[in-house]
Chain A
Amino acid sequence: MNQPVRLLSVLAALGLMSTGASADVIKVGVIGTMSGPYALFGQNFKMGIDAWVAQHGNKVGDHQIEFVYRDEESPNPAKSKALAQELLVKDKVQYLAGLYFTPDAMAVAPLLEESKTPLVVLNAATSAIVEKSPYIVRTSFTMWQNTVPAAHVARKNGSKKAAIAVSDYGPGIDAENAFKKTFEADGGTVTEAIRMPLNTTDFSPIMQRIKDSGADTIFTFLPAGPPTLGFVKAYIDNGLKVAGVKLMSTGDVVTEPDLPNIGDSGIGILSTYHYAVSHDSPENKAFLDQIVKGGGKLDEVTMTSVAAYDGARLIYKMIEATNGQRDPEKAIASVKGMKWVSPRGPVSIDPDTRHIRQNVYLREVAKQDGKFINKEIQTFDAQPDWALSKN
């Protein structure tokens, strides 16, 4: 190869690379549970993002946004990491989003700084996730955020002795700690703290043990999905509800799609959560209308669609702030302190923790017009993540 040709080909290669980098299409990789037992929640990621795109278009300035979805089926950190790597290297995504399970989010965190990629966590709810990298923001919730109000409510409703039963992994342990600390500080006693393996399907023995412990209230957390239904059914079928033992949980345990399966016997179950499909506001109505217009079913909407909807909002803002350049510091800085009214109520991104501040609602399972809903009966304003924030 002679000199000019070599020079030309180098230039051509550079030209190709630079068009690759400043191309008009900005890709966002979304890792979610699109299939398997938790498929509903991954599909909700897509419903939420689609709703945002339908309302705001697929362009920010001159940049076209493209969402690329990857499926992670179950808690599987190795696979999530591999998927993230593939998205970064092969698909050249500029932003990552999604992640239903904490262990999966933790596995992706180390890749972010090296690749200069911001990650918007759309579900995984262990407090420590945002500390794993300065490039992580979260639009979902944390266990501390939702559990602390639950403990206050339980104590206020006259509970003296509570039993805690949680799934044995990050968020479960967060929930256990949050409830124990708050409940005991309020003057209650915790009789049992049971950690149930994630693959537990038979809750009968656990229910009986709780009953034998003499607790008047059960606090529980399991990740939304198949096991929660089994837990609530075991609670009812083993006679704890009839015996007057109260069930208090975060909203994960009574997500709306499960309520018809629990049936009438679920009426009255209390939970604290940041989003109910029945939330009464113009923003939520517009959001749900958009989802239905986009072909989604109202009966299948869960909290992950709202987290994804707001997550898309953050990504659009970050793209706008950086004008499509790969600049994670600037991108993250642009969303710190951001405030808006989400379908779930007023929210803001805490500038210190990069985690969402939001109202947490006390809800009660109720029947309205023949449909089961989580009826909001009390509001705890602008809750921070109680583990990360000092105030």
Chain B
Amino acid sequence: MRTIFSIVVDAVAYGMVLFTISIGLSIMMGLMRVVNLAHGAFAMIGGYLASYAIRSMGASYVVAILVAVVGTILISAPLEFLLYRRIYRKSDALTQLLLTIGITFFIIGMANFVFGPTLKSIPLPAALSGPLDIGFRMLPTHRVFVIACGGVIAVALWYLLERTEFGVRLRAAVDNSDMAESLGIRTELIYSATFALAVGLGAFGGVIGAELLPIEPFYALRYMVVFLVVVSVGGAGSILGALSASLLLGLADTTGKYLAPEFGEFFFYLAVILIVFLFPNGLFGRAH
């Protein structure tokens, strides 16, 4: 019984890390129909900036997160303005893939050049390091923090998209951009804001998830498949979908690691195959 609880706790922690990073990609893919393979690269930039802020400038963890999120949005803004703007919604998938994978390689090269090829750690503040006693076992405090962040992000995003003026406009722009534009909604601004939101979430996830997915130059490619899998299993654009996909895949992966670690990621991908077989559009995806 205790073993089962242990597995569930670890699974939720891992799932929430996946969710925090992947939700930005899910928004991009679901609402703006851009298969953004550079999402992992943006998460990586966030991680690098946070690591640099803490280790070289002596910033605190909170400041480092702010630097990472704002910095990544600023760095990605020219890319949005010059490149992404051309591939929202209408462009075909191949163009999107080629463009975004190109951006990924560009960012990997730049990161290597600027920060060097070694792993970059993001030191945790005292309050977040060390074990936390949750009754039946010890859990890394940092995981509890990550779980909380994931929960807050899920609720906040749901509120933003479903209950605010911005959400209404965004959904209008997504469902019929020509009509929305003729009604006076400035779709270009809406898209830019959503892009910034997605990139910022990626950077945030990159920083707080760095304990599990360490920041190094090939981060952008190494974990991209995992993020894409989360989005496609959950159904692009669905917060609930991304959340349940992350938790389910976290559970599959953690159970596998727990009971048969030598099988590696076998159980993760087995779960992916099963879910995609049963729900071809993802758990909460709509058929387009």
Contact = CB atoms under 8 A, between A and B. Distances in A.
Interface in A304-319: none
B138 A243 contact: yes
A237 interface: yes
Interface string B197-216: 00000000000000111101
Interface string A222-245: 000110011001101111101100
Interface stretch (A35-43, A99-107, A373-381): A35-43
Interface residues of A, number: 37
Interface residues of B, number: 39
A168 B121 CA distance: 24
A239 B14 CA distance: 18
Contacts of A239: 131, 133, 137-139
Given A35-B112, A205-B7, A230 B143 contact: no
A237 B216 CA distance: 22
Given A36-B217, A197-B265, A200-B261, A212 B3 contact: yes
A206 B257 contact: yes
A168 B265 CA distance: 13
Contact of B264 (A194, A199, A261): A199
Contacts of B258: 205-206, 208-209
A105 B73 CA distance: 44
B129 interface: yes
Contacts of A37: 117-119, 214, 216, 218
A226 B262 contact: no
A201 B261 contact: no
Contacts of A195: 261-262
B118 A208 contact: no
Nearest to B216: A37
Contact of A237 (B14, B118, B142, B213): B142
Contacts of B138: 237-240, 242-243
| Max chain A Cβ within 10 angstroms of own Cβ: one of B7, B258, B261 | B261
Interface in B1-59: 2-3, 6-7, 10, 13-14
B50 to A, nearest CB: 15
A238 B119 contact: no
5 contacts: A39-B117, A197-B264, A230-B211, A265-B129, A265-B130
